Amino acid sequence: MLNWYLAREVGYLKFFFRYSIRQISKRIFRIDNNIKLKNSIVMKLPRNSCFGTELFLKNGSVDWGSEEYLIKFLDKDKSFLDIGANIGYYSLLLAPYCHSVYAFEPDKRSLQALNKNAAKVNNIQVIQKAVFSQPGEMQLDITRLPELSHLQKKAEILSSSQDSVSVEVTTLDKFANENPKLRVTAIKTDVEGADFDVLLGAKNLIIRDQPLILSEIYPDFKLFEFLKPLDYLIFAFVKPRDRSLIHTQPKFVQITENPQIIRCKMAFLVPRRLHQAFLELVVSG
């Protein structure tokens, strides 16, 4: 089914041209597509990947410009943690700009493409684990597409008859303790509703390394309460909630309260060392 909101955001002509190529590749020739990322690395997009389709339709830039801002503040001597790596977009995009990348992905359905993309550079390590607030084992819901797989919490397990598999779970604090030389410049999380749990399990690492964090997390009251003692601020590219205005250019803003009339795809959680730089981006943007 055509996504008319996406078509309007991309532009109708560009959308239908690229959509036609994607569908012909998938349904007639049964081949994957490739795109050249902005760092000139060629990324493979599995033909059955919905996220791969979004990447192809948007020509390799999906998060309204967040990618460029994240790259801007990376420390080349430190590591990037990609939590919920999927097929490896952020891992591959950021690999040239940091010392090493650790790509966490528990869903086996994404691992083949992730490993192939990771092999294009020499500093990405794929880790087949989920990340949460506590280590151990949890059930991963795989009822729907790999992009929507998520860890099941206890209440969901009790009430669910959906397909799930047991996966190993770690925390970023545990991972940091197991890798004492690790120093983190940035973290990306996109884990379908468990982003706050990832942060809870990374508190010591956040205090120690003050990483820049890009997350799919919704900026609600509990996030503000968590970040306040850590001296982190929240920034994001935003658009109006009115879907008829989806084609408008996103605006970069500081978020100081639970947003009511705006929506964002990804939020920057910004440590004190970068406050001034991000405030200047708001003024200039």
CATH superfamily of 63-284: Vaccinia Virus protein VP39 (3.40.50.150)
Buried-exposed string 57-66: b where 16+ CB fall within 10 A, e elsewhere: bbebbbbbeb
| Domain limits, the chain | 1-62, 63-284
Per-residue model confidence as pLDDT tens digits over 58-95? 998 899 999 999 999 999 999 999 999 999 999 999 99
Q: Is 92 helix (H, G, I), strand (E, B) or coil?
A: helix
What predicted TM-score, i.e. pTM, was given to this entire model?
Answer: 0.96
| 168 Cβ contact list (under 8 Å, min separation 6) | 106, 128, 129, 130, 137
Per-residue model confidence as pLDDT tens digits over 109-159? 999 999 999 999 999 999 999 999 999 999 999 998 999 999 998 656 655
Give the C-alpha separation, 214 to 242, whole Å.
24
Say which range, 17-26, 115-124, 246-255, has the weakest mean pLDDT: 246-255
Give the C-alpha separation, 189 to 181, whole Å.
22
Residue labelled with tokens 């041209």: 17
